[in-house]
Amino acid sequence: MGIKTIIKEISVAGHTLNLSVEVRSDHYRAGVRAPRIEAVFDNDVDSRRLVLHTNTFGIDEETGEAVGYATYFHYMEDVFWDCRWTDCRLWLDVEYDGVIYEKAPLETDACQAGRKDVLTFCGDHYRLHFPEGVDCLQRMELGPLTAILAILLHLGTALLGIILLPWFCLDVLGMLLLGTEYVEGDVEGSFIKRYIFYVSWRYFGFGRNKKGVAGMKINFLQLSYQLFSAFRPRKKNLLFLSTRRKDLTGNFEYVYEYLKGDPAVKIRFWLHPEEIRHASFRSLFDLALKASSAKVILIDDYVLFLENMGISRKTKIVQLWHACGAFKTFGFSRIGKKGGPLQEAVTHRNYSYAFVSSASVAKYYAEGFGISEKKVIPYGIPRTDMFFDEMVRAEKREKLYTDYPCLKDKKVILFAPTFRGDGKQTAYYEKRRFDPNLLVEELPEDVVLIIKHHPFVRLSYSIDEKYRDRVFDFSGKSEINDLLFITDLMITDYSSVIYEASLLDIPMLFYAYDLENYVATRDFYPGYDHFVPGKIVRTQEELIEAIRTQDVGHEKVKKFCEENFDLRDGRAAERVAGFVSGLMKQEK
């Protein structure tokens, strides 16, 4: 299979790059998704991957070739991070039908509008040269005076909103009586309900985010951090910081076990699963106090607080991302899509290092985080160490059999789909798509079904009386990783639990009834049909037939595991902890 990339147009206007690309392949197959195109920028010191979303894709009726088109523009100030640069190279990486073409061959019939001294075609890449230099985005570092002025401004705005509250009440009353409502969408309910809604909307709309209480909290956090940071030394302090969990679990737990006895490390914790508008001033004060003296901060998810504080360059930020592998797109890979970040977003780009499960997924994390691949280290995921510890595995199984003796000596099918929707508030799963009664009715009596929906999904099934000893809903109960230790077959769709399941060589079926829609709205890094380690089915009837005939594609699991876990030795936490300890001992 051959592929070629054709630059239809490339130009630089000021510091804005405009790019139009055509990708052709001599191989077209119905159902194969559009080519995935990445623009790779490299200035010898740093690199950055930017995904170019394909606008149109189909078959060229004249040649029979598959052809896709992508256009993009990017501000060059947003490309690299925390630096000034004059030269960089640009090339394209393309993935199509399961094959990755790194530094794909380039053809060009572009007019190459723009100055020749800025843009030069070099055969397999372009050279961008800015003699005057380009200053890129940098970490926000506020001084104490700026933070004081900002918090006073937001305090004044919040007070002014209270003073204007009588006017808001009068204005809304007139609006409702005259029938001049001006909020998008209808607000249903009684007159009183709509009146309260609009008054609240006017007040909080006036003083929300940067102006109101949330703004005051942001600037209180900034001010506290800047004041503490000016006087507190960064020597041995290591901060575990999470807005995802309230206790020491997951990757944090495993890394902590190796670091807790290290005399070079003084450990602090700030574990609060809450947004800044819900955090107390006392909690934010505690965060600023601990972060200001931290030489290294460990996080396990997207943490907006880091951008709010303006963390000093003297502090290293290490991302222990909670998921394994690279499956569904996230972060900067979603630029241009609903829920995606702006080009100039910086929070992920604060990371000094990020740890992943294998070198093969490093480029996807570099793309999603907006950082150089040099900062993405394939040491493994600490929390997966337990899958290599037979004693832990036996303990987990014994506990489940003790708590649920009806599961012992049974063949367990685990149904563990992910959610649909944009997030926690809109999460759902289509109940009509899965009937647990129908599934167990068609299977032998020694087969039991465990249902484990995503924590965001609130869904209950009506189980027939005769099947209540064979169907168990564990949603909101046991940890899904614990359930894997007794699972004989897992049914999922787009959940990243497939990585943990592969470590235990569990057969998997992929019930992807809405695959096209999911690709269009969320998308994946590798092509789904080439990537998943099991058979894909689209209906429950196909699902039942695959289970009955044992046609699940189990042979794919071992290869999948090898490709996504470079070091399968149960020592990921040890490696990560050793790296962090080394950072703590550095002089600078």
Domain ranges of the chain: 3-135, 144-213, 232-384, 390-420+432-564
Could you tell me the CA-to-CA distances from 354 to 26, 368, 411 in Å, in that order? 38, 11, 38
Highest mean pLDDT among 32-36, 50-54, 255-259 belongs to 255-259
Ranking 107-116, 359-368, 370-379 by mean pLDDT, the lowest is 107-116
Between 3.40.50.11820, 3.20.20.70, 3.40.50.80, 3.30.465.10, what CATH number should domain 232-384 receive?
3.40.50.11820
Per-residue pLDDT at 425 = 73
> Residue type for 523, please?
D
Per-residue pLDDT at 405 = 92
pLDDT band at residue 154 using 50, 70 and 90 as cut-offs: low
Is 80 exceeded by the pLDDT of residue 210?
no
Helices (H), 43-143: none
Question: Is 0.95 topped by the overall pTM?
Answer: no
Burial of 176 (0-12, 13-18, 19+ CB in 10 A): middle
User: Distance between CA atoms of 334 and 562, rounded to whole angstroms?
Assistant: 27
Token couple for 291 = 């972060």
Is 70 exceeded by the pLDDT of residue 195?
yes
Please report the sign of the dihedral spanned by the C-alpha atoms of residue 353, residue 354, residue 359, residue 361: negative
Other Cβ atoms closer than 10 A to 238 = 26
H or E stretch covering 533: none
In angstroms and rounded to an integer, the radius of gyration of the C-alpha atoms of the chain is 27
Burial of 90 (0-12, 13-18, 19+ CB in 10 A): buried
pLDDT band at residue 567 using 50, 70 and 90 as cut-offs: very high
Phi and psi dihedrals of 303, rounded to 5? -125, 100
Half-sphere CA count of 350, side-chain side, radius 13 A? 30
User: Distance between CA atoms of 238 and 437, rounded to whole angstroms?
Assistant: 51
Half-sphere CA count of 312, side-chain side, radius 13 A? 21
Per-residue pLDDT at 339 = 74
Q: Which residue has the higher pLDDT, 12 or 588?
A: 12
Q: Which residues pair with 66 in a beta bridge?
A: 25, 59
Mean pLDDT of the chain: 87
Is 50 exceeded by the pLDDT of residue 584?
yes
Number of residues in the chain: 588
User: Distance between CA atoms of 493 and 510, rounded to whole angstroms?
Assistant: 5
User: Distance between CA atoms of 516 and 513, rounded to whole angstroms?
Assistant: 9
Sequence-distant (6+) residues with CB within 8 A of 14 are none
Sequence-distant (6+) residues with CB within 8 A of 444 are 411
Could you tell me the CA-to-CA distances from 303 to 237, 318, 398 in Å, in that order? 19, 12, 37
H or E stretch covering 447: strand 447-451
Q: Which residue has the higher pLDDT, 192 or 114?
A: 192
The percent of residues above 90 in pLDDT, for the chain, comes to 51
Per-residue pLDDT at 196 = 84
Q: Check for a shared fold between 3-135 and 232-384.
A: no
User: Distance between CA atoms of 190 and 35, rounded to whole angstroms?
Assistant: 52
Q: What is the CATH number of domain 3-135?
A: 2.60.40
Please report the sign of the dihedral spanned by the C-alpha atoms of residue 138, residue 144, residue 148, residue 151: positive
Highest mean pLDDT among 147-156, 295-304, 507-516 belongs to 507-516
Sequence-distant (6+) residues with CB within 8 A of 463 are 436, 437, 471
Fold for the domain defined by 390-420+432-564:
Rossmann fold (3.40.50)
Q: Are 324 and 496 in contact (CB under 8 A)?
A: yes
Ranking 39-43, 110-114, 135-139 by mean pLDDT, the lowest is 110-114
pLDDT band at residue 201 using 50, 70 and 90 as cut-offs: confident
Helices (H), 234-300: 250-259, 281-292
Q: Which residue has the higher pLDDT, 187 or 224?
A: 224
H or E stretch covering 137: none
